[in-house]
Structure 1
């Protein structure tokens, strides 16, 4: 039995293509893996603070010297990191905002990319500690960006996940969603077909 952690990052609760893809992915996954457990974290309903002095203090200050704000920031980071550590499969739903990922998803990454916990520094450079996990990234894009110079989602997420040892990453892009009905329908259909293959 595997544990699946799903991270939603769309600012919209209604009319979100990335949320639609997530629902379809989870339904197909549960059908194929009925014994697996699914955990959902919605970064729009439960926003995570951006990296700040309190979080840095919580990481770097001895426990007995931490302020209440630093302790609270560290407790949240620990909870998010523990969720990731417990997961066998990670699903990131990431609409494209201004050529990149939502700031809420970046904030989540800033809490879980942690030296000594999810990666470590060695004499040969950084080494990820989360090997063996799989990740699926579901994106929704108004234009067509895959493989182009304006796609700052996939390269960044591959690097960030690889940095902590997650190298088995599958991307499912729904593209052309704001380019008229023909492109939108085609882009969504292709994403759904790809989703059906991997889930």
Structure 2
């Protein structure tokens, strides 16, 4: 089993999503499985241009992975542009999806995608800011489009104060542990 870990947080050692992706990866690779790490903050991909459309090393890396672990912090109610640039390279017609007479068909199923969300506030449905949540909903739609139902772990309220940050991290780590059980 090959594991691809994709981190997109720009906050380095202060990153909550990186704490979660590290824990997930440690659990998944406990038997010595190979892990490929792509740090989109340290080594960002340029925005997509026409000459970069289609197959390439990022797509190959994604397709070679059995499990993909993604760190996705919420920036301004959605995903970081670094992560969007990565997604632009894996959403490729004829490779990860195709259009049919009955609509699009995902071609990338058969792999597991686990997304570690970190959000400064509380954005679940029914909360006051719930209508502004465009991170989990976007990633659910994008991965669904290519045939994958992603799994999510959450660390919420990390900007609501030091105690809530610790509570959010603890909750996220508990979700990681439940996921592994």
TM-score (ref. length: structure 2) = 0.92
Q: 1:84 Cα shift?
A: 0.8
Residue by residue over 1:37-96, the C-alpha shift from the partner in whole angstroms, topping out at 9 and shown as x without a partner, is 21110111111111123324xx4xxxxxxxxxxxxxxxxx51111111111111110111
- Correspondence 1:15 to 2:17: no
Aligned to 2:122, what secondary structure does the other structure show? Answer: coil
TM (norm. structure 1) is 0.84
Q: Which residue, out of 78, 88, 98, partners 2:76?
A: 98
* 1:68 matched residue in structure 2: none
Which residue of 144, 153, 157 maps to 2:139?
Answer: 157
After TM superposition, which residue ranges in structure 1, 4 or more long, deviate above 3 angstroms? none
Please state if 1:24 is matched with 2:23: yes
RMSD: 1.3
The answer to whether the Cα contact below 8 Å between 2:25 and 2:69 also exists between their aligned partners in 1 is no
List runs of 5+ in structure 1 lacking aligned partners: 60-76
Task: Name structure 2 gaps, 5 residues minimum.
Answer: none
Cα shift at 1:21? 1.3
Q: Is the 8 A contact 2:97 2:146 kept in 1?
A: yes
